[in-house]
Amino acid sequence: MKLSKSFAVALAATVVAFGASAQSDPGLTDKTIKIGMFGPLSGNSMAYGFDVINAAKMYYDKVNKEGGVHGRKIELVVEDDRCNANDLLAAVKKLVEQDQVFMLNGGGCSSAVVGAREYIDRMKVPLVMQAASGDGALYPPSRYIFGALSISQYAVGGSIVEFASQYLKAKKIGYINHDDAYGSWNLEAARFQAKKNGVDLSVESINPTLTDVTAPMLKIRAANPDVLLIATYDRPASLLVKKALELGFNKPIVITVNGTADTKQLAANVGNKDAFKNVYTQGLLADVPGGPKLKWVYDMYKSYYPELAAKPGHPTTYMPEGITPAKVIVEALQKIGPNPTREKLADVLANTNLDTGITAGPIVFTPTDHAGQKSAIYMKFDGESETLLPGVYRSSWTYAPIAK
Amino acid sequence: MTLSDISLFLQQGVLSGLSTGSVYALLAIAIVSVFKTTDVPNFAQGEIFMAGGYIALVLLAAGVSYAAVIPLTLVAVGAITALFQRVVMERVTSSKGVGVQFVIATLGLAYAIKGLVRQTGLGDTPRSLPALVSSDAVPIGDAVLTRLDIAIFVAAVVVMVLIYLMFTYTRIGKAMRAVGMNPRAAQIVGIRLSRIRMLVWAMSGVISAIAALLITPKVLVTPDIAHIAILAYAAAIVGGFTSLPGAVIGGLVIGVVENLVGLFISTNAIVVAPFLAILVTLIVRPQGLLGGKVQVKKV
């Protein structure tokens, strides 16, 4: 049977068009690359998302003003995940399926972002997290998910033991953590670090809702450690510092980032400056809040958002953490070249080693470890201000898959 | 563990437990008062407690002096609970509602309060109220309590005594007991049931607010602090759900047991201890320590 000439031309054109579109991932045009962002923009946890996303937006805008990435401007679609797993998954699905984004850059709440892992793996869309540590989605590693650009819980535990043994010269360490997933992760790395450094670890694990911390604090005091490490959330951390003073525990106390989101409130909750004679806090940025190394970030925020910057409580503590993943993404896209694909992006991200100047340590992704930031700085906190101590303390823990 | 450790743990565990337990006892009294008078277990008691803390915080943030914040908070919480009884619970009663419908109504109140608290803009950040008494340490034997701990215990005991005196010697108190024993008979002798129920709910609200003002400087307040009601329920069950003195004993027992379990068994087990106490009570003496005869009622 002879095909008519016009039919043959139409058929050939269809095949060419189909072939061309099959080679190009969603979210890409000649002029734009679409990134889907999500985070808690409302509700009680908006501190982990609102200004973090604002920071990312301002960085992407700066890149666009400088010409974009290989001639493509970065186009953003932003969704509110309200820091809960259901809303986060709905936001991610919308970004991927309706908005057809090329990649995802979001997630301020670890417990929520874990819920999207299976979908992201199935859809093969690269995700670079924002403020979330996201340990539950990072181990075992997924090809497409990159996180802990703030710091992972494993690194929190390993780093604080490193600081206690190296800077405070502790041989016997008291460690109070939570009996939840977060607590088990930071404890695993703390134990690893303690064994590596040859120090004893005396552990008390408490429920986050505990009303009376007399029992754990008294047991720690009875164990007579050289240092007490507190790896709990804000409320228990405040109660433990208070109880330490009441029980006459005068050894150094170091509080992880989990419990120091707002040091002013910590001091107000403890209510007695004497409790802070020997207290240290962990930080994951390159400098103390307001310090010279991060001045450019806050100046940039003020110039982009002058009205917000004038309001009390802005920018929020976590704001700089929006820039780190944006920098990592832009660098990866630059490396890929003018023909990016999702698979190429996953490959390039898995070989990242970038000092963003924002976090305590560089962002390092490897094919077997997609948790980016493993270092912390430490500050002496006297109840009013934080003084940066020399050094950056890195966790030695690495992921080892369970043998089958 | 050495003998001196054991002695220290016992002394500290009991003394600290009595202080915290006295607050559980106050909340348990609030729960039992409502239950005795209206036959309704109030599942919003924790949220009412939380609301007391947040109302005080909001007033402080608005620049009101703490001397005024205290009475204003008590009045506000009492008014909210009285209004809830008058508007919602009376409606359920007049619609011939049964037990589970009352319980659902209290659950609705719990969610409503939690939602409203989350609109205050205070976020999830744990916050404290000013302590009326200093936290200076007071050695008692080998143990240490703070002046605040002692004040909490003393204040709680004073409130409990006042409630006991009210129930025993005042007309209102006797009317409340009468309504609890036999509402129909109380109505026949001229007691206005709706007024008494409203007063009981108001009283339970005020007691919860007192508990919040006492203990917030010690445990801090967050939107999730309402879980403390679980401990109050454990106290009420252990002490006897129909006995006010039982609620007091139950609260103190739970406070002490939490600490002793944490000190001698494991800190992981602290949160489990109240539930174990409930289980043991239900098996050994289901009516509680001072709950009288076992009664089985259809809900």
Residues of A in contact with B20 (CB under 8 A): 211-212
Higher-scoring residue by pLDDT: B213, B118: B213
pLDDT at A112 > cutoff 50: yes
Element (H, E) at A218: helix A214-223
Q: What is the ipTM of this complex?
A: 0.90
Pick from A43, A206, A235: which is nearest to B267 by CB? A206
Best residue in A218, A245, A274, A316 to probe B by mutation, most B CBs within 10 Å? A218
Residue type, B21: G
Contact assessment for residue B247 and residue B5, using Cβ atoms and an 8 Å cutoff: no
Distance CA A378, CA A159 (A): 10
Give the model confidence (pLDDT) of A295-349 as tens digits: 999 999 999 999 999 988 788 888 999 999 999 999 999 999 999 999 999 999 9
Residues of A in contact with B137 (CB under 8 A): 246, 248
Distance CA B121, CA B124 (A): 9
**What's the domain range around A324?**
32-151+291-373
Closest CA to A182 of A159, A157, A199: A157
Q: Where are the alpha helices (DSSP H) in chain B?
A: 3-38, 45-61, 66-84, 90-94, 99-117, 147-169, 171-181, 183-188, 193-219, 228-239, 244-264, 273-284
A14 pLDDT band (50/70/90 cuts)?
low
The answer to whether residues A237 and A132 belong to one domain is no
Contact assessment for residue B36 and residue B169, using Cβ atoms and an 8 Å cutoff: no
Residues with Cβ within 8 Å of residue A383, at least 6 apart in sequence: A267, A270, A273, A275, A276, A279
Question: How large is the average pLDDT for residues B148-162?
Answer: 90
Best residue in A209, A211, A235 to probe B by mutation, most B CBs within 10 Å? A211
Question: How large is the average pLDDT for residues B82-92?
Answer: 93
Taking CA atoms, what residue in A is nearest to B221?
A235
Q: Is residue A21 part of a domain?
A: no
Taking CA atoms, what residue in A is nearest to B23?
A211
The interaxial angle of helices A342-349 and A323-336, nearest 10 deg, is 120
| Backbone torsion region of residue B238, taken as left when φ is above 0, otherwise alpha when ψ lies between -120 and 50, otherwise beta | alpha
Question: How large is the average pLDDT for residues A234-245?
Answer: 95
Distance CA A340, CA A23 (A): 10
Q: What confidence score (pLDDT) does residue B8 get?
A: 94
Distance CA B278, CA B263 (A): 20
A377-386, B181-190, B261-270: least confidently modelled range: B181-190
pLDDT at A96 > cutoff 60: yes
Q: What confidence score (pLDDT) does residue A95 get?
A: 98
Q: Is residue A13 part of a domain?
A: no
Best residue in A207, A209, A214 to probe B by mutation, most B CBs within 10 Å? A214
**Which CATH number is A295's domain given?**
3.40.50.2300
Q: Cβ of A265 and B125 within 8 Å?
A: yes
Give the model confidence (pLDDT) of A262-275 as tens digits: 899 999 999 999 99
Question: How large is the average pLDDT for residues B156-161?
Answer: 90
pLDDT at B79 > cutoff 70: yes
Residues with Cβ within 8 Å of residue A172, at least 6 apart in sequence: A199, A200, A202, A223, A224, A225, A226
Contact assessment for residue B21 and residue B254, using Cβ atoms and an 8 Å cutoff: yes
Q: What confidence score (pLDDT) does residue A18 get?
A: 47
A213 pLDDT band (50/70/90 cuts)?
very high
pLDDT mean across residues, chain A: 92
Q: Cβ of A43 and B118 within 8 Å?
A: yes
The total of other beta-carbon atoms located within 10 Å of residue B86's CB is 16
For tokens 């908070």, name the residue: B73
The answer to whether residues A390 and A277 belong to one domain is yes
The answer to whether residues A277 and A296 belong to one domain is no
Cα–Cα distance list, B97 to A77, A357, B102, B106 (Å): 50, 65, 7, 13
Distance CA A134, CA A185 (A): 11
Residues of B in contact with A268 (CB under 8 A): 127-128
The answer to whether residues A207 and A179 belong to one domain is yes
Q: What confidence score (pLDDT) does residue A19 get?
A: 45
Give the model confidence (pLDDT) of A157-211 as tens digits: 999 999 999 999 999 999 999 999 889 999 999 999 999 999 999 999 999 999 8
- With pLDDT > 90 as the criterion, what percentage of chain A qualifies? 83
Distance CA A375, CA A394 (A): 4
Best residue in B19, B50, B125 to probe A by mutation, most A CBs within 10 Å? B125
Pick from A215, A222, A235: which is nearest to B259 by CB? A215
Element (H, E) at A379: strand A375-381
Question: How large is the average pLDDT for residues A380-402?
Answer: 92
Residues of B in contact with A207 (CB under 8 A): 268, 270-271
The answer to whether residues A261 and A224 belong to one domain is yes
Reading the block at residue B56, the tokens are: 């005080």
Question: How large is the average pLDDT for residues B107-112?
Answer: 94
Residues of B in contact with A218 (CB under 8 A): 8-9, 12-13, 263
The answer to whether residues A99 and A226 belong to one domain is no
Q: Is residue A198 part of a domain?
A: yes
Fold of B3-284: ABC transporter involved in vitamin B12 uptake, BtuC (1.10.3470)
Residues of A in contact with B262 (CB under 8 A): 214-216, 219
pLDDT at A127 > cutoff 90: yes
Residues with Cβ within 8 Å of residue A369, at least 6 apart in sequence: A141, A398, A399
Distance CA A286, CA A263 (A): 17
Closest CA to A82 of A127, A112, A120: A112
For tokens 């009475």, name the residue: B71
Contact assessment for residue A300 and residue A58, using Cβ atoms and an 8 Å cutoff: yes
For A281, the 3-state DSSP assignment is strand
Domain ranges of chain B: 3-284
Distance CA B261, CA A401 (A): 36
The answer to whether residues A338 and A223 belong to one domain is no
Closest CA to B103 of B44, B176, B37, B183: B44
A226 pLDDT band (50/70/90 cuts)?
very high
Residues with Cβ within 8 Å of residue B295, at least 6 apart in sequence: B242, B287
pLDDT at A20 > cutoff 70: no
Give the N- to C-terminal CA distance of chain B in Å, as an integer.
49
The answer to whether residues A331 and A361 belong to one domain is yes
Higher-scoring residue by pLDDT: B151, B293: B151
How many Å lie between the alpha carbon of A166 and the closest alpha carbon of chain B?
A: 29
Distance CA A247, CA A236 (A): 16
Q: What is the pTM of this model?
A: 0.89
Reading the block at residue B246, the tokens are: 């039982």
Question: How large is the average pLDDT for residues B158-172?
Answer: 91
Q: What confidence score (pLDDT) does residue B298 get?
A: 54
Contact assessment for residue B109 and residue B83, using Cβ atoms and an 8 Å cutoff: no
Distance CA A125, CA B168 (A): 70
Higher-scoring residue by pLDDT: A7, B243: B243
Question: How large is the average pLDDT for residues A78-102?
Answer: 96
pLDDT mean across residues, chain B: 90
Element (H, E) at A235: helix A234-246
The answer to whether residues A361 and A267 belong to one domain is no
Question: How large is the average pLDDT for residues A90-105?
Answer: 97
How many Å lie between the alpha carbon of A245 and the closest alpha carbon of chain B?
A: 9
Q: Is residue A7 part of a domain?
A: no
The tally of CA atoms less than 13 A away on the side-chain side of residue A238 is 29
Residues from A in contact with B at Cβ < 8 Å: 43-45, 47, 179, 204-207, 209-212, 214-216, 218-219, 222, 234-235, 238-239, 242, 245-248, 261-262, 265, 268-269, 271-272
The answer to whether residues A303 and A316 belong to one domain is yes
Give the model confidence (pLDDT) of B123-140 as tens digits: 778 999 988 888 888 999
For tokens 């009288």, name the residue: B292
How many Å lie between the alpha carbon of B123 and the closest alpha carbon of chain A?
A: 5
Q: What confidence score (pLDDT) does residue A295 get?
A: 94
- With pLDDT > 70 as the criterion, what percentage of chain A qualifies? 94
The total of other beta-carbon atoms located within 10 Å of residue B74's CB is 22
pLDDT at B296 > cutoff 80: no
pLDDT at A36 > cutoff 90: yes
The answer to whether residues A251 and A222 belong to one domain is yes
The answer to whether residues A251 and A323 belong to one domain is no
pLDDT at A111 > cutoff 90: no
Residues with Cβ within 8 Å of residue A331, at least 6 apart in sequence: A352, A354
Q: Is residue A4 part of a domain?
A: no
Give the N- to C-terminal CA distance of chain A in Å, as an integer.
60
